Structure 1
Amino acid sequence: MVVSASAGNGASGSAGNGTLPRRASEENMRSMVDKVSAFIFDCDGVIWRGDSVIDGVPETLDMLRAMDKRLVFVTNNSTKSRAGYLGKFTSLGLNVSAEEIYSSSYAAAAYLESIDFPTDKKVYVVGEVGIQEELDLKGIAHIGGPADADKKISLKPGFALPHDPDVGAVVVGFDRNINYFKIQTAQLCISENPGCLFIATNLDAKTHLTDAQEWAGNGAMVGAIKGAVKRDPIVVGKPAEFMLANIATQFGLHRNQICMVGDRLDTDILFGQQGGLSTMLVLSGVTTEAALLHPENGIHPDFYMSQLSDLLSIKAAPVAV
């Protein structure tokens, strides 16, 4: 079982209760929007696919802002920092502020800060620059990351790869340049450095690197290291309780007034249900309607819709006071 950075408070919603998920009607959507004051949006598959904005998203976000709804954009993709994601939002023509963005790269740094990670210890990063930038902002020393992208190991008789004994945590995020050097260094730090933490930004099986197809996600990177160290990681991204608790605190949100909108059942919807949020699934990303309605699926959102812009059907609805 995966170790979460603080346990959840129990599933809510309709997960595993035997009722079939309901496609949202205009009435359902209006009721949902009226009863919540904030929306947490996943990004990949909800706001964009690869480098393309999903149709109708800008207009939908503008509508919700006009209704005085608080918007938070959460992504398990750790390749960028919050500043990096702001650049992506801006380049796609989306009206989003830096304060509204919460990435798993930031969650990793925030988690280490929350446990008072020792100042004399370092983090070994299996991942990209987003994690490093967020660690820098917290004043946490780190090594690895892109600097180890081209390193190779020559397996000669008697060779032992050296590793830094001051590494107190290994953070594993999505890494397009993962290699055997990084895997071996990570497993040595975790296995041989006393008390070294094994932290994963997420366990997503697949991700949207382009809008043409699905790509292997961070679960592949984490799985390689987990297989070597035979330990479960501490997960700080969706659906971990730590991420939701940190978001609620930072943004001053009450959980019963939040709706989680995502495209994945086992991260987005489970994240919302375990945290006591309302949940809506969109079919514009990973989850298909067939998978959602399959008898073996036990994770059911409150409602589901084709894509976020379906909410535009309530545009003429009066704003709840």
Structure 2
Amino acid sequence: MLRSKGKQLVFVTNNSTKSRADYKKKFDSMGIPCKVEEVFGSSYSAAIYISRILKLQPPKNKVFTSGESGIEQELASEGVRFCGGTDPALRRDMEPSDYAAIADGSALDPEVGVVLTGLDFHVNYLKLSLGFAYLRQGAQFLATNVDSTLPNSHTLFPGAGSVSAPLVKAWGKEPLALGKPSQAMMDAIEGKFQFDRSRTCMVGDRLNTDIQFGIEGKLGGTLAVLTGVSKKEEFLIDGAEVVPSAYVDKLGDLRG
């Protein structure tokens, strides 16, 4: 319907476990027409920031990542070298020898200059220890997103922010987040798609990411959809911090 009215569409997601190509396959399976170029995920946002803003230089031009293949695919698409991630050698318990190897630096890659966290379904003490060691050596701390929860199967599970929380606690500093509601992500999207913010509406189901993203980005409007995380009771109260321009019970109501 939106395409038939000549609207430009951009699919913006904080889910770092999937790449743009992965989302294209998902949309295809649902019968939703979409081009890879129309998808802008937090993994891609992080890859763009690292490659085009940070422009890492030797000898510290590699990323240690805690996350799934979506992050790796997007880093690779931007020519960013990485380690960690889905490496099967890290999907194990911490051994006594690991403590000594991390302490003396022999377990660390000397080229790592960034620690990038995302939703990791295989997070463990070994990965957290390596990430912490790299931060202590001066690596920059980035996150694809810091969502506290992940909606799935009609309930909530720990999100990327919850998974990386032990590292945040140990380091004592928050990472630079490159997903919604970060305006670094908004600027990157605007730079790629060249849209008019005053004529753009952010549609989403979460107040503190989607709707806040649109409000802080000074978009023309924000539309909350009530089939996800946030409920109308959260913003239809006096003193609500994040209030959408409008809301619908489900996305299909737009056709009504």
After TM superposition, the score normalised by the length of structure 2 is: 0.92
- Picking from 50, 56, 64, the partner of 1:117 is 56
- Over 3 Å counting, the alpha-carbon distance change for 1:128 and 1:158 in structure 2 is closer
Match of 1:272 among 214, 228, 247: 214
In structure 1, the partner of 2:121 is 176
Seen in structure 2, the aligned counterparts of structure 1 residues 295 and 127 have a Cα distance that, compared at 3 Å, is same
Matches of 2:99 and 2:163, distance apart in 1: 27
- Contact map agreement 1:170 1:199 (CA 8 A) in 2: yes
The CA RMSD measured in Å over matched residues stands at 1.6
Residue 68 of structure 2: aligned partner: 128
Q: Distance in 1 between matches of 2:37 and 2:46?
A: 17
The answer for the alignment partner of 2:80 in structure 1 is 140
Match of 2:2 in 1: 64
CA distance in 2, matches of 1:89, 1:150: 30
Tell me, which stretches of 5 or more residues in structure 1 are unaligned? 1-62, 314-321
Q: List aligned pairs for 1:83-102, cutoff 5 A.
A: 83-102=21-40
Matched, 1:104 2:42: yes
Paired residue for 1:187? 132
Runs of 4+ displaced beyond 6 Å: none
Of stretches 293-302 and 264-273 in structure 1, the one that deviates more from structure 2 is: 293-302
Q: Residue 162 of structure 2 corresponds to which residue in structure 1?
A: 220
Q: Secondary structure at the match of 1:256?
A: helix
Q: Distance in 2 between matches of 1:215 and 1:92?
A: 23
Residue 245 (structure 1) aligns with: 187
Q: Could you tell me how far 1:297 is from its partner in structure 2?
A: 2.7
Pair 1:299-2:247 in alignment: no
Cα deviation, residue 97, structure 1: 1.1
Q: How many angstroms apart in 1 are the aligned matches of 2:20 and 2:158?
A: 23
Q: Residues 48-72 of structure 1: CA distance to partner in whole angstroms, max 9, x if unpaired?
A: xxxxxxxxxxxxxxx1111000011
Letter paired with 1:245: D
Q: CA deviation at 1:293?
A: 2.3
- Give the number of aligned pairs: 248
Give the distance between the partners of 2:144 and 2:228, measured in 1 at CA: 20
| Structure 1: distance between partners of 2:82 and 2:157 | 28
Map Cα deviations across residues 150-208 of structure 1 (whole Å, 9 max, x no partner): 2321236973423222210011010111111111100100112x3x1100111111112
Q: 1:84 to 1:154 in 2, by over 3 A?
A: same
Q: C-alpha distance in 1, partners of 2:32/2:204?
A: 18
The residue aligned with 2:197 is 255
Kindly indicate whether structure 1 or structure 2 has the higher relative contact order, using CA contacts under 8 Å at least 6 residues apart: 1
Query: Match for residue 310 of structure 1?
Result: 253
Distance 1:261 1:157, change over 3 A: closer
Given candidates 230, 233, 238, the residue that maps to 2:172 is 230
Structure-1 separation of matches of 2:54 and 2:26: 31
